[in-house]
Amino acid sequence: MPAADGTVADGAGRPEPNHGLRIFLLWLPVALVADLLIWFVWGPHLPPGAMSTSAATQQSAIKIMSVMAAPVMALVLVYGAYALVVWRHREGDDEDGPPIHGNTRVSVTWIGVTSVIVLSLAVFGTVELAGPAGAGAGEGNTPIWRPSGGTPLQVQVIGQQWRWTYRYPQFGGFETTSLMLPVGENVQFNITSLDVIHSFWAYQLGVKADANPDINNVAYTKPEHTGQVQVRCAELCGLWHADMTTVGQVVSLSAFNAWTATARTQLAALTKELPPYTLTYDPNAVAQLGKVFQKAGLSGAGGGFYGSQYPVQP
């Protein structure tokens, strides 16, 4: 409590130590060690790895944000521990703490430091999105961040309950359940759905983008290493949502070219029967399917086909 002459002393009359300095000295090594561990030990293992340009920037962004967050968390923990130990209740001391109103230095430091951190992260995040052409996120029908140089390889990703299919419009428009990509080439995913909302999540590529019916959602990436890509659906889409997976492959350009040549020939009969390549496929636009729904007295796929005991979903 403040004494009459203005110096700060504890209950026993001893002068108050410089708590700020003590907390700072305790905090500094903790923050330093945490940051070094995050950057050098944990960092290379942070998700989603570095298989593609988008994955690598996501990993470095997570590293940088962790390195900025760790000292803040360390300060909270060190301060908490310090307060618990130094300012704990002592036997026989029932006195209230001093009524403090405001501390300009603390307020200015606090607001200043947090503002700088938050605003710089906002700028950093935006730049990170722009850098590797949208960072693997869906950019909608008219992407503003595109990869530079040449026409990218286009792969249409079609979600349906409950499987992904992939269409290669630059190779005759064949459609397959396999996802094959060449290493070192820019890839443009055109993601859409034939029924409900799905989400195309190619984990190792750092690509995750919604698959919506009637919408062409564009996402870019550039695989930097060969290997397996685990594709999952990241939007709860019904009974077999969890089983809606593909094991994709990133292979050399020559292996990719050999694969497309073979697939094109093997799937030629099927490709002839497919509708022409378009960026979206209206779920109810298959004329024959429409006729069946009509015959059943349904408009589109709604209506009381099975009787009033089954409410139309939804």
Site residues for another protein per CB under 8 A: 158, 160-163, 165, 175-177, 194-196, 213, 238-240, 243, 267, 269-270, 273-275, 281, 283, 286-289, 292-293, 296, 298, 301-307, 310, 312-314
Task: Show the DSSP H helices in the chain as ranges.
Answer: 19-36, 53-86, 104-130, 253-266, 268-273, 287-295
Could you say which of Cu ion, another protein, none residue 69 binds, taking C-beta under 5 to 8 angstroms by partner kind? none
CB 165, min distance to another protein, A: 5
137: left (phi over 0), alpha (psi -120 to 50) or beta: beta
Closer CB to Cu ion, 110 or 240, in the complex = 240
Closer CB to another protein, 46 or 286, in the complex = 286
Closer CB to another protein, 151 or 177, in the complex = 177
Could you say which of Cu ion, another protein, none residue 198 binds, taking C-beta under 5 to 8 angstroms by partner kind? Cu ion
Q: At what angle do helices 53-86 and 19-36 cross, to 10 degrees?
A: 150
Could you say which of Cu ion, another protein, none residue 127 binds, taking C-beta under 5 to 8 angstroms by partner kind? none
Closer CB to another protein, 220 or 281, in the complex = 281
**Residue 61 identity:** A
Closer CB to Cu ion, 127 or 296, in the complex = 296
DSSP class of residue 41? I
Alpha-carbon separation of residue 242 from 192, 194, 204 (angstroms): 19, 18, 18
Residue closest to 230 by CA, chosen among 252, 258, 215, 208: 208
Give dist(CA 202, CA 234) in Å, integer. Answer: 10
Residue closest to 61 by CA, chosen among 46, 74, 75: 46
Which of 198, 204, 218, 271 is the binder for Cu ion (CB under 5 A)? 198
Q: Rule CB under 5 A: say whether 157 interacts with Cu ion.
A: no
Residue position matching structure tokens 């947090």: 114
Which of 191, 237, 251, 267 is the binder for Cu ion (CB under 5 A)? 237
| Residue 296 token pair | 């059943």
CB 243, min distance to Cu ion, A: 9
Q: Rule CB under 5 A: say whether 61 interacts with Cu ion.
A: no
Q: Binding residues for Cu ion, per CB under 5 A?
A: 198, 233, 237, 244
